Chain A
Amino acid sequence: MSEGPYTWASAAAVAAAVASGETTAAAVVEAALERIAELNPTLDAFTDVTAHRARAGAAAIDRARHRGQSMGPLAGVPFAVKNLFDVKGLATRAGSKINRDLPPAPRDQPLIERLEAAGAILVGALNMGEYAYDFTGENVHDGNARNPHDLTRMTGGSSGGSGGAVAGGLVPLALGSDTNGSIRVPSSLCGLFGLKPTYGRLPRNRSFPFVDSLDHLGPIARSALDLAIAYDAMQGHDPGDAACVDRPVEPATHALDAGTGGLRIAVAGGYFRQGAFPEALAALDTVAKALGATRSVALPEVSRARSAAYVITATEGASLHLGRLRDRAEDFDPAVRDRLIAGAMVPSALVVKAQKFRRWYRDEVLKLFAEIDAIVMPATPCTAPAIGQQTFVLDGVEMPVRANLGIYTQPISFIGLPVVCVPVPLSPLPIGVQIVAAPWCEDVALRIAHGLERDGVVTAPRPAL
Chain B
Amino acid sequence: MAGKAKKAGKIVGRKAARRKPAARRRAAAAVRPDPLDTFIIAAADALDLPAKPAWLPAIKANLAVTLRHAAAVAAFDLPDDAEPAPVFRA
Interface contact A355-B84, CB-CB below 8 Å: yes
What is the minimal beta-carbon distance from A336 to any residue of chain B, in angstroms?
Answer: 10
Interface string of A307-333 (1 = CB under 8 A from B): 110110010000000000110010000
8 Å CB contacts to A: which residues of B6-56? 39-40, 43-44, 47-51, 55
Contact of B73 among A311, A334, A337 (CB under 8 A): A311
Distance in angstroms between the alpha carbons of A314 and B66 in the assembled complex: 8
Q: In the complex, which residues of chain B have a beta carbon less than 8 angstroms from the beta carbon of A334?
A: 55, 58
Say if the beta carbon of A353 comes within 8 Å of chain B.
yes
The contact sample of 8 A-B pairs, CB cut-off 8 A, is: A200-B89, A304-B72, A304-B76, A338-B62, A346-B63, A355-B85, A357-B73, A362-B85
Distance in angstroms between the alpha carbons of A416 and B87 in the assembled complex: 12
Interface contact A359-B65, CB-CB below 8 Å: no
Q: In the complex, which residues of chain A have a beta carbon less than 8 angstroms from the beta carbon of B68?
A: 307
Q: In the complex, which residues of chain B have a beta carbon less than 8 angstroms from the beta carbon of A122?
A: none
Interface contact B90-A342, CB-CB below 8 Å: no
Interface contact A325-B49, CB-CB below 8 Å: yes
Distance in angstroms between the alpha carbons of A337 and B56 in the assembled complex: 11
Say if the beta carbon of A350 comes within 8 Å of chain B.
yes
Q: In the complex, which residues of chain B have a beta carbon less than 8 angstroms from the beta carbon of A245?
A: 89
Interface contact B43-A356, CB-CB below 8 Å: no
Distance in angstroms between the alpha carbons of A357 and B76 in the assembled complex: 8
Say if the beta carbon of A303 comes within 8 Å of chain B.
yes
Give the nearest-CB partner of A351 in chain B.
Answer: B70
Q: In the complex, which residues of chain A have a beta carbon less than 8 angstroms from the beta carbon of B69?
A: 306-308, 310-311
What is the minimal beta-carbon distance from A405 to any residue of chain B, in angstroms?
Answer: 15
What is the minimal beta-carbon distance from B54 to any residue of chain A, in angstroms?
Answer: 9
What is the minimal beta-carbon distance from A338 to any residue of chain B, in angstroms?
Answer: 4
Q: In the complex, which residues of chain B have a beta carbon less than 8 angstroms from the beta carbon of A352?
A: 84
- The main secondary structure of chain B at its interface with chain A is helix
Interface contact B73-A304, CB-CB below 8 Å: yes
Q: In the complex, which residues of chain B have a beta carbon less than 8 angstroms from the beta carbon of A350?
A: 67, 70, 73-74
Say if the beta carbon of A236 comes within 8 Å of chain B.
no
8 Å CB contacts to B: which residues of A385-433? 403, 415-418
Distance in angstroms between the alpha carbons of A343 and B40 in the assembled complex: 11
Q: A341 and B50 in contact (CB under 8 A), knowing A359-B84, A439-B90?
A: yes
Contact of B74 among A199, A339, A353, A418 (CB under 8 A): A353
Contact of B90 among A308, A314, A325, A415 (CB under 8 A): A415
Q: In the complex, which residues of chain B have a beta carbon less than 8 angstroms from the beta carbon of A335?
A: 58
Interface contact B82-A200, CB-CB below 8 Å: no
Contact of B67 among A303, A346, A359 (CB under 8 A): A346
Give the nearest-CB partner of B66 in chain A.
Answer: A314
Most buried by B among A329, A345, A356, A358: A345
Q: In the complex, which residues of chain A have a beta carbon less than 8 angstroms from the beta carbon of B89?
A: 199-200, 245, 416, 439
Q: A344 and B49 in contact (CB under 8 A), knowing A303-B72, A353-B74, A359-B84?
A: yes
8 Å CB contacts to B: which residues of A147-192? none
Distance in angstroms between the alpha carbons of A42 and B35 in the assembled complex: 47
Q: In the complex, which residues of chain B have a beta carbon less than 8 angstroms from the beta carbon of A415?
A: 90
Say if the beta carbon of A242 comes within 8 Å of chain B.
yes
Contact of A359 among B39, B66, B76, B82 (CB under 8 A): B82
Say if the beta carbon of A459 comes within 8 Å of chain B.
no
Q: In the complex, which residues of chain A have a beta carbon less than 8 angstroms from the beta carbon of B59?
A: 338, 341-342, 345
